[in-house]
Structure formats: C-alpha cells, structure tokens
Amino acid sequence: MSSKKPIFFTVLLLFTFACINAQERTTIELNKGWKFSKGMNEKAFENNFNDSKWQTVSVPHDWAIYGPFDKEIDKQVTAIVQNGEKVATEKTGRTGALPYIGEAWYRNQFSVPNFDKNKKVILLFEGAMSEPKVFLNGKKVGEWNYGYNFFYFDITDYVAANGKNNLAVHLSNVGESSRWYPGAGLYRKVKLIVKNKESIDQWGTFVTTPVVADDLAKVNIKTKVNGDNLSIVTKILDSFGNEVAVNKSNAIFGNEFDQNMAIINPKLWSPETPYLYTAVSQLYVGDVLKDETTTRFGIRTIKFEPNKGFSLNGKVRKFKGVCLHHDLGPIGTAINKAALRRQLTILKDMGCDAIRSSHNMPSLEQLELCDEMGFMFLAESFDEWAKPKVKNGYNRFFKTDAEKDVVNLIHATRNHPSIVMWSSGNEVPDQWGSEGVKRAKWLQEIFHREDPTRPVTVGMDQVKATMESGFGAIMDIPGLNYRLPLYDEAFKKFPQGFILGSETASTVSSRGIYKFPVVKGANKQYPDFQSSSYDLEYCSWSNVPDDDFVLQDDKPWVIGEFVWTGFDYLGEPTPYDEMWPSRSSYFGISDLAGLPKDRFYLYRSRWNTTDMTLHILPHWNWEGREGETTPVFVYTNYDSAELFVNGKSMGIQKKNNTTPQNRYRLMWMDVKYEPGTVKVVAFDKDGKAIDEERIGTAEKPYQIKLEADRGTLEANGEDLSFVTVSVVDKNGNPCPTATQQLNFSVTGKGTYRAACNGDATSLELFHLPTMKLFSGKLVVLVQSTSEAGKIELTVSGKGLKSGKLALNSN
C-alpha cells in the first residue's frame, strides 16, 4: 500500500457583505474627510495637536506614492541570501525608492446613528501600513502590528452617545522592513459597523459543503452570535434572487448555530463558470429581528491526489497562475476596485486561472473580484517567520502575533470560493533545521483548526534543506520556488505524491526593448538598465518560461505553476538592484502600466485555449541595423508558420522538441533587417494557411492615439478609466521607438489621477500631468468625480497632432 495518502477537501465558500439596514445593522465606510499629517510621532497625540492645517485626503490612501523617487530612501546594504548572494552590496531601489518610511497621523470625525445602550459598535480596518495605534475621543482603543492584516476593535465603550467622535490613527513605517514597496498609510478601507448587542459576530459565519453531487449539495452554515433566547433563519438565493433553500433554528451550541440545508441541482463554481449564491442570515429574539447579514458564496469541491494531482469539481486540471504583489503601479497600494478589475481582465484574456497573493494577505476587493470573474486563489500570509530576511521585517512580531494574524486572515476570507489553498510563508529562512519544521507544523495546524477545508503550502526555495529536515514532508502541498533540477528528487522524497510550482520563471524583460545578439542567459545587464524582450533572460536562481512548460506538460504529478509575476511591481529591480536609476521590477508578464510585454503572448498561446494567438516580435523599426541579423520570434498556439520579409519567404518553422524554446516558440534566427513589412502565415495541422499577422516599419511620429479600457465610469469619485496612449505615423502605423514628452488634461466631470509608461528607470512622478512615452506607449488614468456627466481627456506633445477622448460618468 502506498504511503502517499490523498488530501481531500470539499467545501462551499462565501463572502459576507455588510448589509446596510437602519434598524438592525448599519455599515458606514469612513472614506471622506480624513486629515493627514506626516512626520509627527505618537507623543504628538498627548499635546492635543491642531489638524486645521493638515492635508485633507480620502481613504484608501498611500502617502508615499507621490514621491519623489530618491536613491537614498531605504538604501539597503545587504546580501540577499535567497538569491544566492554571499557579499553585501548596496541596493538602492529595493523598496521602490519612494518615501514610505516615517510616522504619520490620520484623523476623522463620525457620528453613530441611533446609538444607545443596546448597540454595539465595531471599527474595522482592512489594512493599515503599518503598526497602527488607534485612538477614539482621546483614549487608546488598541493597536496592531502587521500592516497587511485585517483587524477590528469593539469601540462601544469609547463612543460618545451624542455628537461627534474623534478618531485618530498613528502609523509608523521603519526602514529595512520590506523587500519590495510596501506602501504607506490607510491603504485599505476603514468601516464603522453599528448593530444590536444581539448580533452575528464579525466574521462569525462559516459555510462548508460536506456533500456535493450533481443533483444535491449539502450546505452547512455555522454562525457565531451574541445574545440570549436567539433563533436564526437562513435563506439561500440563486444568482437571480430566487429562494432555493431555507432553514430556521433555535438550537444553539454555546454561541454558535449549526444549520444544514440542501440545494437541489447545484450550479458549481469554477473559473469557467463562477456561479455565486447568496445566503441571508436573520437573527431573532422572539419575533423581533435583531441582525441581518447577506453572504455571497459558491459551491465547489477540491481534491489533491498522489500522482494524479489537483482536481476541481472532479476534473483534473493544472494551475495556470501568476503571483501578484499588492501595489497597483502608478496609484501605489491604495486599493481601487477598477484597477484590480483591469488587472484581472488582462490576466483572463491571457488564459490565467489562478492568483497567488505575494507575499502578503490579499485585499477583500481582490477576492471579491476573483469570486466574480473566476480565479482560483492561493492566499499567502507571511514573507518572514522568526528568522529575518530584512532587519525590521515581520520577524519582530512573529512569536507574539503570528497566530492572531493567521486567525484574522482565515476568518476574514475563508468563505471566498476562489481560495483553494493557504500559504503560511514564502522562502522563509526557517526552512533550515528542526525549529523551522516545528514552526511550519504549528502554523499549518492553526490553518487546519480554523479552516479544515483547505490545504496549506509554503513557497520553498531551499529544497535540499527541506528534504533533509522533514520541512517539506509535513506540508499538505510541497511548493517549490524555482529549483527545476530538484523537482524529480523532491517528488521521490516527499510523501505527498505531487509538487506545486509555487513560484516559477522570474524571467526579466522590458516592454518593447530588444538586445542583440539574441542569446539565452542569466543576469544580463546593459548600459540602459533594460532587459531584452526576446524573453531569454533570467536570474541566477531562475529560468525562462519554456523550462517550466516542459515540467508542467511532461510530469502529471506537477500540479501547476504561479509565475513570478503577472505584472511588474514597485521595488526589487533585479537584475539592476545595485544600479540607479532603477526602481521597479522587470519580472512582469505585463509592465507596471499593465501593458502586455511580448511574454504575455507566449503564455497566452499556451494558456488561452479558446482564442487563437499569433504575435510577432521584435518591432520592425531598426534604423542603422540594415543588413544585420535580427531574429524574429512568433508566439502562437499554431504548430507551424511561414515568415515573409517584404514578400520574400524566410522559410517555414514548425514546433519541435529539440529545445524547450523550439517546443513552444517559432523562431527564425537568421533574418536580416530591412525596412518594410514582416508577415507571418500560420498553418493548421493539415498544412493549410489559416491565419496571418503583420507588422511594419513606421515613419516619423505624427499623431497621438487614445484607447480606453472603459468608456463609462461610475460617478462615485473612485472609478477609473485606463487610457492607453500611443503614437502613430501619418498612415496609422504604431511608432514603437517613440519617446516624446506628453502632457495630459482632463475636463468635465472627471480628474487626472496618474500616468505610467512602464519604464523601470523613469523617475517621473506618476501624479504629475506629464510623462515621456516608453517604447511608443504609456497609460493615463482618468478618475470620476461624484457628479455624473461628460469627461474629456486631451493628450498633447510637441510636434504631434493631439489626441482627444470623450468618456461618460453616470
């Protein structure tokens, strides 16, 4: 009998939305009217400081994204052990070179509607960077250390019954506390929840499905409550609002109701069919309704089996995932649902079906959207345990805070159908030795205790050490970060019977930049601090995408991958982290502006199985390279194609197994550059021409072209339209090498929010209405106001015909 036992998880999950109800429960988002001041320490509170001259901001807010960029900010002299470095060197852009370090205060006032002795008031923070200390009406309510966590306080005893309540939040960010840009401030939502004392606990509802079949799902809902003589009525609605199940119970076990309901012919949640139900929970004392919450959830099963791998709803599949840091490029870490939705829309088109929150706890908005749009989710908790990677990282709090941080993560998010795995850590130095094994086991048991429905992984980079210590053997899912040569050995030594590529590739590239000669290699550097978009450059510890594709295709026990990374992010500018200016990553499949790099189409050709991909690189504007070898690659899900330059055939290429690159790319390595047109004609399996694509040499830049991802915005003061700005010649051909300085103006019922060109070396500030093009493109963000109406964006540049774009807000 095999010792490799299956790990089986069947679960129905939900997300609880605050129900705004004047009688039972009121949720108020504290987003407007905040006063902000940076530079004052905690002692300033004792001096009853005057905030009349403070800056007025809205929350979510990231104070550091407005810059300026400065190489001296958080300059770290260190050897990055997980990258194999042995000698300490100066790292100038590691945390983005943005001014996140320092202390700051936020203040606001609020009234509590209908407050009396029978009410309970909860103050909820969905993230605060970092080490927040919270004061209400001059008294300290509480504090929390971890900037990525959700936390709340019961402030009932601090609330003034009549009039305004004065809320103050002190934040402190110290240097050498991160390996990437962490952001700064109240960067996620702050909410006030007013309810009766007889009520459902915060994050007190947990839903699972012990049985899921085609014709029936058994739904179990556990609801923690406060009060006496209580009963509960729970109704389940389908996506159209029709009632499909109901249960009433007055049987309470301690402080928890435990209800079971049946859903006939359930519709299952998956990335392809992200079907969501809604549960309405009503809490009564006698016949009096005391509290009500609504809950959106999905029904699905997950299973992990030796040698077979992962299955969702009974079907084996592999994760086609990406890792995402939490910053949103030019708007920093301040959460914005429109920006998140755009990211996921881009990833969906690529064929991605899974996200890993790296290396921190996700936002509730991100999970909401993954539920709606259909992405499986690996929710990560920590980048450090007890042993440090950076001097002032989470290691300072691990022993005292790790359990409560994990508990809050699970309770706040465990009901999202998108989450299929937890991660308790990433590349932690604790991978060595018995103490690390004990910590891994301790954390995993906390996850199992609070949520027995999902498995736990850790991103392991010290694979040899985890083989010897037993660290890898105790994990539900052994996750390997890179280390491709060790996959087979790890599979043999670990008992689980499968391996997850928890972090893969770390291929580096700059959008629209190509280097010659075209040769595969590690740690390549160039005088312009860019990386080649031929997608053959990587780091000392990593590899190109094709090497991972081979393992995913040829090893049934490799259950998928999470590519580092879906988008570029602020900080960690490898391979230029010792050089200035370089302040953001090169790892992204799309750049910091969200514009796809060539690599996007390589993954799309493999992952998107419903749409055809046919993409040519490089661009064809190479003045001065006439007659020189300029290889042409084609990323496509067709097996073969013929290349033509100015009508002359360069021959037919067919995918083959001679190298990983030949297996997944079509490559014409001996093409000589001459201005004109490059055309590729793709063939079906019978050799019949079925599709074609072409690119050409552009003339000098003539006109600015604008294209919005969305033409209509919601008039809520938060919604965003992302407008891609490019330059074309007089014939409408894109100018891929244009670098002109452009200026932006927004009139009407909208405002200019930010711009980004995707250049990791640019020191231009995102919030100023001017920026240079990079490789012929950039992106402008237009934000709605609270008034409906027309919006117009104008983009101009010297010597160019201006571009104008009309948007609407309603």
- Catalytic sites, residue numbers: 427, 503
Q: Which residues, other chains included, contact 423 with Cβ-Cβ below 8 Å and sequence gap of 6+?
A: 356, 378, 379, 380, 381, 456, 457, 458, 459, 479, 502
User: Quick one: how far is CA 56 from the chain centroid?
Assistant: 28
Amino acid identity at 699: E
Alpha helices per DSSP H over 374-512: 398-413, 433-450, 463-469, 471-474, 487-493
Angle between helix 398-413 and helix 364-373 axes, rounded to 10 deg = 40
Task: Determine the number of helices (DSSP H) and then strands (DSSP E) in the chain.
Answer: 10, 49
Task: List, in sequence order, every residue forming a beta bridge with 170; answer none if it has no partner.
Answer: 105, 133
Count other Cβ atoms within 10 Å, centred on residue 744.
Answer: 21
The string of DSSP codes covering 562-583 is: EEE-SB--BS--TTSTTSSS--
Q: Which of 773, 780, 774, 759 is nearest to 709 (CA)?
A: 780
Strand runs (DSSP E) across 306-371, as ranges? 309-312, 315-316, 319-324, 354-357
Amino acid identity at 667: M
Q: Give the tokens for residue 684.
A: 């079906």
| Pairing verdict, β 256-264 and 216-226 | antiparallel
Q: Give the tokens for residue 630.
A: 């300029």
Q: Which residues, other chains included, contact 249 with Cβ-Cβ below 8 Å and sequence gap of 6+?
A: 231, 232, 257, 258, 259
Give CA–CA dist 773/597, Å, rounded: 15
Q: Is 137 exposed, middle or buried (0-12, 13-18, 19+ CB in 10 A)?
A: middle
Residue 750 vs residues 161, 460, 717, 743, 786: alpha-carbon distances, Å: 39, 46, 8, 16, 9
φ, ψ at 513 (rounded to 5°): -110, 130
φ, ψ at 344 (rounded to 5°): -70, -35
Q: Which residues, other chains included, contact 627 with Cβ-Cβ below 8 Å and sequence gap of 6+?
A: 672, 673, 674
φ, ψ at 602 (rounded to 5°): -65, -45
Which own/partner pairs from 631-634 qualify as long-range (CB within 8 Å, at least 24 positions apart)? 631/518, 631/534, 631/667, 631/668, 631/669, 631/670, 631/671, 632/667, 632/668, 632/671, 632/678, 633/534, 633/535, 633/598, 633/665, 633/666, 633/667, 633/668, 634/665, 634/666, 634/667, 634/680
Give CA–CA dist 306/294, Å, rounded: 38
Residue with tokens 């706890």: 361
The answer to whether the CB of 760 falls within 8 A of the CB of 729 is no
Amino acid identity at 723: V
Cα angle for residues 326, 330, 336 (degrees, 5° grid): 55
Cα angle for residues 486, 665, 346 (degrees, 5° grid): 85
| Pairing verdict, β 190-196 and 119-125 | antiparallel
Task: List, in sequence order, every residue forming a beta bridge with 629; answer none if it has no partner.
Answer: 672
Q: Which of 324, 233, 331 is nearest to 282 (CA)?
A: 233
N-terminal to C-terminal alpha carbon distance within the chain? 64
Q: Which of 723, 758, 773 is nearest to 511 (CA)?
A: 758
